[in-house]
Amino acid sequence: MRNLQKIRHKTHLLLPLIAVLCIGWAGSWDELKSTAGTVTSVKAAFRQEKHLKILARPLVSEGVFYYQAPRSLRWEYTHPVQSILLMHEGSVKRYVQTASGLEMERSAGLDAMQVVIDEITRWLQGRFDESEMFAARLEGAGRIVLTPKEEGFKAIIQWIEINLAEKPGMIRDVVIFESPEAYTHMLFSDTTLNTPIDASIFREVP
Amino acid sequence: MIHLSRLLFLLMCLPIACSHLPDIQSTPPGAAPSGGCLTSIFPQGDWQLLHAIEATGPSGGKQTLLGLSQISSHKRSAHCVMMTLEGMVLFQATFDDGALSVQRAVAPFDRPGMAEGIVEDLRMIFFSPGRPHIQTGRLPDGMRVCRYPLPDGGTQDIETQDQTHWVIHRYDRRHRLIRTVRPVSDQGRSEQGMPNQILLEAHGLVGYQLRMSLVEAQPLTYQPKLKKVNPCDSN
């Protein structure tokens, strides 16, 4: 049971990043769900800035992601360490750059990623308020604030802010707060919605 | 049956009884280094280092993390942060010449003894032993070696061929090999003179391996580049 909890916590660590896939601009949950329902695919570049009190300037990572409804995802870092997370047809794989090239990584946390997929699916449908893990609050100016429901999870992430872009279906940026002094800021660019994505993107590397 | 149990007992004791430190052939008088032995293989000054750390556990499972270290050789202090590739902080701690302060430890880094273990590994990789050596010379394979006593009764050997070929062996108080650290020589060195890849092996039943690939090295103050000299010949 304790192991199961640990695995759930491990998978929780990926959830905030995947929250960025959530679609839609809206003034209410109903509007958000309505807009989200029209999105079938997402492709975007991202820049991730890690802010810590000890850092004079943030650590920067860059990458791209692809999403295809209902349950296919590719989350790829291109800098500074290449890594690719693939989720497709119930399979979850992670590849990481090593001295001998991209290698598939095996860890217990990946086996439990189906939990994450279910959560993603809810979010992609704009059903933030139905999340099992986060309490969602829709604020003005297209901002959604997610707060973990479990106390144990709050020790890892205090809250998440998602800022929707003006264009329906797009996210401007996401900030994940581990503490007021330690947070991850993700900014998105070159976002395209509802364009066909070849299935091999979710199955193969690079 | 009694004989069998005695045999098993003897077999269990055998590794302990057989453990001994490698023999050192003393360097002839006048040729031996007298002090400051081998410190140039460790980063000198204040640095911020970012490593991709490929951790391999006893069962062969692998996980890659990002390790951020701010180290100061003269203060013998460090601030270390272990993150997932997605940037979530799993472990954050500061140590200052023996005093450890853990700011954050998420599973599995919250296990008893884990923080102390991480810090010990980092000290072994980034800092000279910080005490005088007790013996110098050559090993049977020709490597130059400096031997240091450790506060816990263990021993640390720093063995060098040249600036790019060296290995650190750490032994426990029973002289069993518990850690090996070495640069992966075919991965070369950074422009700051640091190994692009370092391999740490923890030996034993629950052994593990850390392959640390240097992503970024930033001086926190002005730093001279590492000199390409043989440390044992420095005196």
The gap from C-alpha B5 to its chain's centroid, in whole angstroms, comes to 38
Strand ordering across the sheet containing A182-193: A101-105, A91-98, A83-88, A72-79, A59-68, A41-51, A182-193, A171-179, A159-164, A143-148, A134-139
The number of beta carbons lying within 10 Å of the beta carbon of residue A3 is: 9
How many separate domains does chain A show?
1
Residue among A59, A105, A176 whose CB faces B62 most closely: A105
For B13, phi then psi, to 5°, come to -80, -20
Interface of B with A (CB under 8 A): 50, 52, 54, 60-64, 66, 68, 70, 79, 81, 83-89, 104, 106-108, 184, 187, 197, 211, 213, 215-216
Residues of chain A with pLDDT under 50: 1, 4, 7, 22-24
Q: What is the CATH number of the domain that holds A90?
A: 2.50.20.10
Query: Which residues in chain A have their CB less than 8 angstroms from residue B107's CB?
Result: 6, 9-10
The residue to which tokens 């010449």 are assigned: B97
- Residue range of the domain that includes A20: 2-202
Does A107 lie at the interface with B, CB-CB under 8 angstroms? yes
Residue of A nearest to B57 (CA): A107
Summarised one tens digit per residue, pLDDT across range B130-142 is 888 999 999 988 8
**Cα B72 from Cα B103, distance rounded (Å):** 19
Nearest-angstrom CA–CA distance, A119 and A15 = 8
- Pairwise CB contact (< 8 Å): A59 & B187: no
Integer Cα distance of A96 and B215 in angstroms? 14
Per-residue pLDDT, B222: 54
- Strand partners for B201: B180, B209
Measured CA to CA in angstroms, residue B234 lies from B34, B35, B160, B227 at distances of: 9, 9, 13, 11
Task: Say what angle helices A2-12 and A113-124 make with each other, to 10 degrees.
Answer: 40
pLDDT of residue B145 exceeding 70, the answer is: yes
Residues in chain A closer than 8 A to B212 (CB atoms) = none
Contact in structure between B129 and B33 (CB atoms under 8 Å): no
- Give every CB contact of residue B111 below 8 A, 6+ residues apart in sequence: none
pLDDT reading at B210 higher than 90: yes
Tell me the count of A-B CB pairs closer than 8 A: 78
The DSSP output letter for B21 is: P
Q: Verify cis geometry, omega within 30 degrees of 0, for the bond prior to A206.
A: yes
Helix ranges, A13-141 (H): 15-18, 29-36, 108-111, 113-124
B111: amino acid identity, one letter: R
**A99, B211: Cβ pair inside 8 Å?**
yes
Q: β-pairing, B25-26 with B177-183?
A: unpaired
Which pLDDT band, with edges at 50, 70 and 90, does B230 fall under? very low
Residues B234, B187: Cα–Cα separation, whole Å: 25
Using DSSP bridges, classify how beta strands B46-56 and B208-219 pair: parallel, antiparallel or unpaired: antiparallel
User: Cα-atom radius of gyration of chain A, to the nearest Å?
Assistant: 16
B51: pLDDT strictly greater than 70 = yes
A155 vs B: CB within 8 A: yes
Reported residue count of chain B is: 235
The CA distance from A56 to the nearest CA of chain B, in Å, is 10
Q: Distance (Å, rounded) from C-alpha A58 to C-alpha B66?
A: 14
DSSP state of B195: B
Q: For residue B198, what are the β-bridge partners?
A: B183, B212
Tokens of A181: 């002094």
Specify the higher pLDDT residue, A112 or B196.
Answer: B196
- Cβ of B88 within 8 Å of Cβ of A52? The answer is no
Return the pLDDT at B225: 52
3-state secondary structure B105-126: ECCCCCCCCHHHHHHHHHHHHH
**Interface test with chain B among A50, A100, A103, A160, by most B beta carbons within 10 Å:** A50
Q: What is the pLDDT of residues B147-194, one digit of tens each?
A: 999 999 999 999 998 778 899 999 999 999 999 999 997 788 898 889
Is the distance from CB of A92 to CB of A106 less than 8 angstroms? no
Alpha-carbon span A163 to A144, nearest angstrom: 7
Mean pLDDT across B102-127: 91
- At residue B187, φ and ψ (nearest 5 deg) are -90, -5
Mind telling me how many Å the CA of A169 is from chain B's nearest CA? 23
List, in order of start, the domains of chain B with CATH numbers. 41-132+186-233 (2.50.20)
Question: Is the complex ipTM more than 0.85?
Answer: no
Pairing mode of beta strands A171-179, A182-193: antiparallel
**H-helix or E-strand containing B10?**
helix B2-18
User: Kindly report the CA angle at B41 between B40 and B42, in degrees rounded to 5?
Assistant: 90
Task: Return the residue of A nearest to B94 by Cα.
Answer: A54
Q: Is A61 on the interface with B (CB under 8 A)?
A: yes
